[in-house]
A and B are shown apart, each in its own frame.
Chain A
């Protein structure tokens, strides 16, 4: 096979990694577990030669046959009545969870207050779940595993799943309510077979499925509070509402466990005048509000549950009342609001990606409103255990909206993390970073899960220390050219986005003299020079490494002409600027709209037409723009070059088209 063919295979494999996100998985734990379960080797000296040794051989064989691992306990798990964990033993947990490893290949974790009985045999392990919940991680190709319950059985070969028993209110009998049990199964990897009611069903990765008695839950009876969620459907004066978050509970709340409302879909109707009896007139304003609701609308509501399973609106907010009254914006304005919201939210996530939780690498596309930013995912590095997305790797290539994480603070109130908000504030479009994100609420937003140590430091404003942690480069001095992205207002540093690499590097002036108390400080001339620089211009920076990148000289690279035109591709964009790589060999330049009018209070501002035109453009679009130089490169007019990139790429309708398109590749570079 020629090298060309191997190269094709190699590039195909690398594209699967880079674009399809099929990154090498971390198999350390599995490998170490399998290594720990390796069989004993038979030793030669255990086989004596004489005939009488036959009995010895037999005995030796009995002694030394492949030792099947005994159950191993860990955590807060106990054997009921004492004794060893063996077949027939009952294992239970109290307030904390614990786990048991069966046969070396079944890792079973019991949640708090759960109970199982060990059954089965070697390589066909089985447990009888009598109470609570178990999470199971089963190695492939080691043996079978079954979870048996009174409701049904779950059998697997190599997968991860959870099984829990739910106590539900059953029918009344002889004046007493029976407890009816339901079985809930959720598969995290692979698939399981669930036997319930004499039928067998294969369940794959996805949300929890419940088998068994349905009914209301005492935990939510008497709930009264504020929730956030999404409208699922609207029907005859009520609507189905999926709760993402319980923001707060009111004083009148009687629900035992309000948090169990999260993730549930409930019917919500209007408040009734005489709500205690469940009769009486529905509040008209609430009915009007409900009529205006649309499916997939995300809203915050105040609701309560007097009894049964239905909820009622408690109070509407000021905006909701205005909307219900019809005193809101005109239809045209409302359309614009929705368009703007849709634009900010970004495209809706497909169902296979909802519930994603993991670590990704990508680039900040643009900063958005309300402390959010758009982030284009280049790679999915890791997927966390609580991930619910069916195809997490399909996130690669998507641009998603990311917001600060929501956390419960004191008094049970939910707030966005201040640290995340500070971090988002410092982000720049075009910045490449690694993020831990998850989609927990609705089909639009991702929340930041955790910031790395460096990200937290940056958010806290310890940015000045960042350079100290940078590794010394191989070259200790040089000259670079790039776009001046940012500078300190006191002239203490500049940040330059270097040509070609896209790397953003910070440069500081040299330190002159000794300690500050002895008159030492940053090079005054350089500080003064930095103060005069105007950001977004291209600059040439001569630098030297002395613990940090030190700027020795900086020169603004102004264009020769005062005006011109350029055609090229948008490589980065922000709210009111774009970076364009011209066709051919020219460098990337950043363009902003002109400032028209004077001070903002006198009506001055950025050229609205150009701002509007820039908002319509996307990363990767080809554009032609006219510019002038006025301290910075300013866009006077911009036009998207739509459709075909080059004339010769025009598709034809006959069979020759295939060959023609293939031929174009010769010119691809």
Chain B
């Protein structure tokens, strides 16, 4: 692959590959390293799809990222997820059907933002503490006077409900 082609690939797909790796379970630092390794692997490969085939090359890059992530998990004593090939294949399947939906995931992200506007102030406060302020579970449990497991379940339930809202919105837009 030529360096010019690599640069085009990187600029077009690095954000998606990074997001994909975070979705699989990599933390920020690991995702950054794996993104770089994925593109270098692609650069060295002789099987690059045509530049015109946007979806094909995105899927190809994701496949490389998945394999590298699997190796990364196997090398670590404490893997971020219980990663195996089957898990990663199912993750890829959901990414394509649930997130991309024939596009680039933009609709999903916009739907999430719209749904975030609709949740109650208290739950938004919870999410802000967890994500924007990066508070730990013990800190949040002290602040909200709940047990740590309670906080964990509550956050999960909020995300579940956001998921339902997103699906409803996307379903409405499609119809």
Contact = CB atoms under 8 A, between A and B. Distances in A.
Interface of A: 1, 3-4, 6-22, 24-28, 30-32, 34-36, 38, 140-141, 394, 396-397, 620, 622, 645-646, 649, 651, 653, 655, 657-659, 661-662, 665-666, 668-669
Interface stretch (B20-28, B48-56, B63-71): B20-28
Contacts of B113: 18
5 contacts: A11-B163, A16-B131, A22-B28, A32-B10, A35-B3
Nearest to B82: A1
A26 B14 contact: yes
B121 A645 contact: yes
Given A24-B19, A140-B33, A651 B145 contact: yes
Contacts of A658: 146-147, 149-150, 153-154
Contact of B128 (A19, A26, A27): A19
A653 B43 CA distance: 59
Given A8-B163, A32-B6, A1 B22 contact: no
Given A1-B87, A620-B121, A668-B123, A31 B112 contact: no
Contacts of A649: 120, 122
Nearest to A396: B132
A647 B125 CA distance: 18
Please indicate which of the listed interface residues A11, A30, A34 has the most CB atoms of chain B within 10 Å of its own CB: A11
Contacts of B58: none
Given A16-B22, A35-B6, A3 B118 contact: no
Please indicate which of the listed interface residues B6, B90, B147, B162 has the most CB atoms of chain A within 10 Å of its own CB: B162
B40 interface: yes
Contacts of B95: 6, 10
Given A24-B18, A662-B150, A19 B132 contact: yes
Given A11-B162, A18-B113, A35-B40, 16 more contacts: A1-B90, A6-B94, A6-B95, A8-B163, A10-B99, A11-B163, A14-B108, A16-B22, A17-B19, A22-B28, A26-B14, A35-B43, A394-B134, A645-B122, A665-B154, A665-B161
B107 interface: no
A21 B158 CA distance: 19
A10 B14 contact: no
Please indicate which of the listed interface residues A10, A19, A662 has the most CB atoms of chain B within 10 Å of its own CB: A10
Main secondary structure of the interface of B (DSSP, over half): helix
Contact of B132 (A7, A27, A394, A661): A394
B59 interface: no
B156 interface: yes
A18 to B, nearest CB: 7
B133 A11 contact: no
B91 A8 contact: no
Nearest to A391: B134
Contacts of B122: 645, 649
A27 B120 contact: no
Interface string B20-47: 0011110010001101100110011000
Nearest to B90: A1
Nearest to B157: A665
Given A10-B98, A16-B131, A27 B112 contact: no
Nearest to A15: B131
Given A1-B87, A8-B163, A19 B10 contact: no
B150 A8 contact: no
Nearest to B29: A140
A6 B11 contact: no
Given A20-B131, A668-B119, A657 B33 contact: no
Contacts of A21: 132
Contacts of A10: 23, 94-95, 98-99
Contacts of B14: 24, 26-28, 31
B98 A668 contact: no
A7 B35 CA distance: 22
A666 B7 CA distance: 47
Contacts of B134: 20, 394
Contact of B40 (A3, A38, A397): A38
Contacts of A4: 160, 163
A535 B35 CA distance: 51
B159 interface: yes
Interface in B138-175: 145-147, 149-150, 153-154, 156-166
A217 B35 CA distance: 47
Contact of B153 (A3, A20, A662): A662
Contacts of A32: 3, 6-7, 10
A30 B34 CA distance: 12
B42 to A, nearest CB: 10
B32 to A, nearest CB: 6
Given A4-B160, A20-B134, A658-B154, A13 B23 contact: yes
Contacts of A659: 150
Contacts of B157: 662, 665
Contacts of B160: 4, 7-8, 665
Nearest 10 Cβ contacts at the A-B interface: A658-B150, A19-B131, A24-B15, A6-B94, A24-B18, A13-B22, A397-B132, A13-B23, A20-B131, A665-B157
Interface string B83-105: 00001001100110011000000
Nearest to B158: A665
A661 B165 CA distance: 19
A649 B122 CA distance: 9
Contacts of B90: 1, 6
Contacts of A30: 36
Given A11-B163, A669-B161, A394 B6 contact: no
B127 interface: yes
B16 to A, nearest CB: 8
Contacts of B39: 27, 31, 35
A7 B163 contact: yes
Please indicate which of the listed interface residues B6, B95, B159 has the most CB atoms of chain A within 10 Å of its own CB: B159
Nearest to B14: A27
B161 A7 contact: no
Contact of B94 (A3, A14, A28, A665): A3
Contacts of B120: 645-646, 649, 668
A151 to B, nearest CB: 32
B147 to A, nearest CB: 6
Contacts of B119: 668-669
A295 to B, nearest CB: 26
Nearest to B99: A10
A417 B11 CA distance: 34
A501 B98 CA distance: 24
A394 to B, nearest CB: 7
A35 B45 CA distance: 12
Contacts of B23: 9-10, 13
A35 B98 CA distance: 34
Given A3-B94, A24-B19, A669 B165 contact: yes
B117 to A, nearest CB: 9
Given A4-B163, A662-B153, A28 B91 contact: no
A32 B10 CA distance: 9
Contacts of B165: 669
A16 B153 CA distance: 18
Contacts of B25: 9
